[in-house]
Chains A and B, each alone.
Chain A
């Protein structure tokens, strides 16, 4: 069965510092991977997605993620964090079991300090 692990429940970074959020997945075939962001009391917004091809994908708001098959990882990065990036971030993997079954990680809550 597919699974997604986000090992960091909560991360605090200073504004302007770099950010890396970790995501490890378990899936037998080539995965379809997504990163979403959720502000408090809101729905999820897609940041970026990976299906195939270039393993470094660019997303909105200056985020990027790198797919590493050998490490089963899809870590999210941003070179310089802004206070508005404070939110919860979810990694997700999609399977091929007859319908679009999306498995979400448990999320990483990002706090940005001045």
Chain B
């Protein structure tokens, strides 16, 4: 079955360390998204990509970076500049970046500070 795979499920970061969250999809979707989820705040968009080798900042991109070298993969790096990285991170995708396309979600990565 097709879907979105996020790994690892749990991740711990030390002070001053960069960590990378993986997101892989085998749905042949063009558009991919990264969200951050904090309790009581819903989901906030970090970065999105509509096509390979192109990505755009979302609402809370500071302290994060992404790449989109392959259609299937959209890794997110949480840099040391992100001072409050503890959160649940969700990756999503849609076939096209169209309004009527619901987003498909992975099962998330929970990032904590050591």
* Interface positions of A (Cβ within 8 A of B): 4, 9, 32, 34, 36, 41-46, 49, 51, 90, 94-96, 99-102, 104-107
The interface bits of chain B over 19-51 (1 if a CB of A lies within 8 angstroms of the residue's CB, else 0) are 000000000000101000000111101001010
Taking CB atoms, residues of chain B closer than 8 Å to A34 are 102
The distance in angstroms between the C-alpha atoms of A99 and B99, with both chains bound, is 8
Q: A106 and B42 in contact (CB under 8 A), knowing A46-B102, A49-B102?
A: yes
Inter-chain contact A107/B103, CB cutoff 8 Å: no
Inter-chain contact B101/A100, CB cutoff 8 Å: yes
Total contacts A to B, CB within 8 angstroms? 64
* Interface positions of B (Cβ within 8 A of A): 4, 6, 9, 31, 33, 40-43, 45, 48, 50, 56, 90, 92, 94, 97-108, 110
Q: A51 and B100 in contact (CB under 8 A), knowing A44-B90, A101-B45, A106-B42?
A: yes
